[in-house]
Structure 1
């Protein structure tokens, strides 16, 4: 079964990433580097403790919360700062099944190199859509922007994260290549086992 990589590359220059050579092949006999990563760099997951929704940290989250059958909502012509509602889910609003993963394809990963749009103009999850995710028992919500809410609006970003994370819905942000997915697939995005971690970069993959 084909695997589709849904992960942004982590590299020097990525927001929150710093890489320094530690050992060099010519000098030390092997290559190794020191990586400093912001816990929410690139494609990453949020743990409930991220916004204080619950004291659960990333290493305490059951692995089952990072994988499962996924429904892909193909949302067209998304505008900067658009508020996404249940109506935007299209057919997925009716076909989604409890304990599945919901992936929102908005095309936003195309703007990854333009911070003014990618981060500051991202489409946002509405309160109605967050509640819909709770009511329909969404296990994992995956989005292309680096956040599910306006990062420049602390009340909004706090409220939406607390709503989702408080319901133990895993959030995966910074996805890409969702345009390569059919309406249904299997999804997984496992983090490192970071003790007391509030989030972690993941390798997100879909099986189609």
Structure 2
């Protein structure tokens, strides 16, 4: 097995959802002057590759430190789709029939991560493909409890009013309401999903931020090596 990192590095000025705190990483102490290096981190709880706890959009929902760690690791299904920007993904977009039973972790790979922080890109990250609500219901009903996407959100991120502030309050979040309302977990801004096989073992490791609605994560997958695939 080989380990694959599915995480965007946290860097100063990296893309964030409109209205979220920007990311800034600056020196606080310096080896030459202070004998040690320490960085000052300024970022929101939903920066980079991150986890949405139920409390992100559900009043009284579970906070990130209360999510059992065994829920965030195990077998994962990777569903590959190739759709256009702004497309509402349904089961019909999958190359194969959706299995009757899914593992607890399901990731939808669209390839939208290629636009995240891409130099010179004029693509609006908010125009990503998103999950049709009925499709999200299907995933949940077939066993998924952790939903991973390689875009800003499993919901559409287009603002309902171009004159608005373009914050999360300006967009509908039906998949969040469904998933987090049932005590599920959402992982956003994954990267590298399109290179994964249909089944992997996966780990999502958040910070244990007490009473907080989400956390940046280190997400990774174990995939078979070529030698393992060939049986040599």
TM-score (norm 2): 0.82
8 Å contact 2:14–2:48 — kept in the other structure? yes
**Distance (whole Å) between structure 1 residues aligned to residue 191 and residue 152 of structure 2:** 11
Rg larger for: 2
Task: Select 2:41's aligned residue among 35, 54, 78.
Answer: 35
Offset, 1:158: 2.5
Offset, 1:26: 0.8
8 Å contact 1:59–1:197 — kept in the other structure? yes
**Distance (whole Å) between structure 2 residues aligned to residue 147 and residue 112 of structure 1:** 13
**Distance (whole Å) between structure 1 residues aligned to residue 30 and residue 60 of structure 2:** 43
- In structure 1, the partner of 2:145 is 139
**Distance (whole Å) between structure 2 residues aligned to residue 64 and residue 53 of structure 1:** 24
- In structure 1, the partner of 2:56 is 50
CA-to-aligned-CA distance 1:54-98 (integer Å, 9 cap, x gap): 42100011112211101111112x21111011222333612643x
1:169 pairs with 2:188 = no
Offset, 1:131: 0.9
Give 1:59-208 correspondences, 5 Å limit.
59-76=65-82, 78-91=83-96, 93-94=98-99, 96-97=101-102, 99-113=103-117, 117=123, 119-151=125-157, 152-153=159-160, 154=169, 157-208=172-223
8 Å contact 1:53–1:166 — kept in the other structure? no
User: Unpaired runs of 5+ in structure 1?
Assistant: none
Q: CA RMSD in A?
A: 1.9
Aligned length: 206
Offset, 1:53: 5.6
**Distance (whole Å) between structure 2 residues aligned to residue 142 and residue 203 of structure 1:** 13
**Distance (whole Å) between structure 2 residues aligned to residue 84 and residue 53 of structure 1:** 28
User: Unpaired runs of 5+ in structure 2?
Assistant: 16-21, 161-168, 224-232
**Distance (whole Å) between structure 2 residues aligned to residue 108 and residue 116 of structure 1:** 13
Secondary structure of the residue that 1:147 maps to in structure 2?
coil
**Distance (whole Å) between structure 2 residues aligned to residue 74 and residue 197 of structure 1:** 31
8 Å contact 2:91–2:97 — kept in the other structure? no
TM-score (norm 1): 0.91
**Distance (whole Å) between structure 1 residues aligned to residue 124 and residue 180 of structure 2:** 23
1:18 pairs with 2:24 = yes
User: Greater helix percent: which structure?
Assistant: 1
